[in-house]
Amino acid sequence: MLSLIALAVAQSGTVEVPFKLAENAIIVDAAVNGRSLSFMFDTGFSGAFVVDHNISLGKETGTMRLRDFVGEFDAKTVKLTSVKLGSKVIDPAEMEAVMQPADYSFSYDTHCDGIMGFEVIKKNVTEINFEKSKFIFHPKTLDINSRTPDNKRTFLLKMLPIGHNAIKLDVRAPNGKQLLLSLDTGNAFYTTTHRDVLERVGLWTKDSKPKFVKQSFVASGAVDSWTKKVEGAKIYGVDVPLSYWDIIDLPSGSAESDGTVGFGFLKNFNIIIDYDRRRVWLENFTGKVGNDPEGSTGVTAAFDERQNRVRVFRVIPNSPAARAGIQMGDSVLSVNGQELGGRIGYREVGALLDGPVGTKVTINFSRNGQLMRMELDREAMVNE
């Protein structure tokens, strides 16, 4: 019988592995150390896997320091002995799984045991085919550098010589100044950067304050964020006349990273990544490059484990919810007739509250035992 490494070498042809497209994420099945599991695929995570610590993959062998938009934290790891995606065998040499307490199914509103990172595909010429919902592992002989892009529908990009196990590509502000943004399938938004980065490239002034500030959730905690309208940017060689970026209201945690380009942009492209040759090929199959502003009520709500109900954790000033008198601590009972009596993921709550600009949403909630019902307009809370 061939060893796993020998079998991986023997797979010199094209191998296709289907994945599932969730609302803002790629979900892929994998066999890790003999366990059949499901993962959210995240090119922004440089490691191999993050797995729910309740799942046993073997004896803990070390620790790994993780970093996200907000901060850093340490987590325990387990050495990997086997990795397989469908019929594609991945060489597990030097790979580890981070064991982290989290309910990933709760976070992504679908069955999910953890996160699969860039290290799993790094040694391959890998296509992320959004159009047909599958990975295509091409033979090493495929050299996308020999292709000629038309720079309208197809684009050939050179990775920037920075970042550790990250895919850094060229992004330009409307004034031509460069931003260092990673290709990040794990970022559910369109583009995410930091307030100090906007100040550096001239898209924001230090004495300006955003009118609308919301709250976003990342691995290390919650963080204030807001939406910025950007006209005339160039993202990964693609001219983007109009887009809406999510801005973290904290300084960037690394001199080599200004943030990421996320799912909202990437889902419009079939993407081939050749890390060894430092090249990326983009094929725009949707004809769309920008994004639309999100219609919001101004409510941030999530399930409260202690009270066993969905509670309002933030109300954006000047928002429809604020004008209607909704307050932090109110309990959300139903949205547009859908009861929220059981445990529900914060993404699902957000999807119910938010929607197209100009549409209406009916919210039933309670405060100190008093039941109330309100109809709110969803508005685009964008900072110019």
Read off the pLDDT band of 68 (50, 70, 90): low
> In the prediction, which pLDDT does 296 show?
93
d(CA 29, CA 38): 4
DSSP lists the bridge partners of residue 372 as: 365
Question: What integer is the mean pLDDT of 253-281?
Answer: 91
Phi then psi for 113, rounded to 5 degrees?
A: -100, -5
Say whether pLDDT at 65 is over 80: no
Read off the pLDDT band of 70 (50, 70, 90): low
103-136 tens-digit pLDDT: 788 778 789 999 999 999 999 999 999 999 999 9
**Domains (ranges, CATH) in the chain?**
4-124 (2.40.70.10), 144-284 (2.40.70.10), 295-380 (2.30.42.10)
- Residue 362: CB atoms within 10 Å: 12
- Residue 110: CB atoms within 10 Å: 17
Q: What is the pTM of this model?
A: 0.87
DSSP lists the bridge partners of residue 376 as: 361
Say whether pLDDT at 220 is over 90: no
Question: What integer is the mean pLDDT of 170-179?
Answer: 96
d(CA 326, CA 361): 14
> Contact at 8 Å (CB) between 360 and 335?
no
Type of residue found at 347: R
Type of residue found at 108: Y
Q: How many CA atoms lie within 13 A of 308 on its CB side?
A: 2
Read off the pLDDT band of 14 (50, 70, 90): very high
**326 Ramachandran zone, left/alpha/beta (phi>0; psi -120 to 50):** beta
Q: Strands 96-100 and 49-52: what pairing? A: parallel
* Cα dist from 21 to 14, 267, 289, whole Å: 22, 10, 19
Say whether pLDDT at 228 is over 90: yes
Question: What integer is the mean pLDDT of 251-263?
Answer: 81
Top-confidence range, 74-83, 123-132, 346-355:
123-132
Question: Torsion angle of alpha carbons 274, 262, 72, 313, nearest 10°?
Answer: -160
- The radius of gyration computed from the CA coordinates of the chain, to the nearest angstrom, equals 22
Lowest mean pLDDT among 48-52, 90-94, 215-219, 282-286: 215-219
* Ordered alpha helix ranges (H), 25-126: 104-108
d(CA 148, CA 327): 56
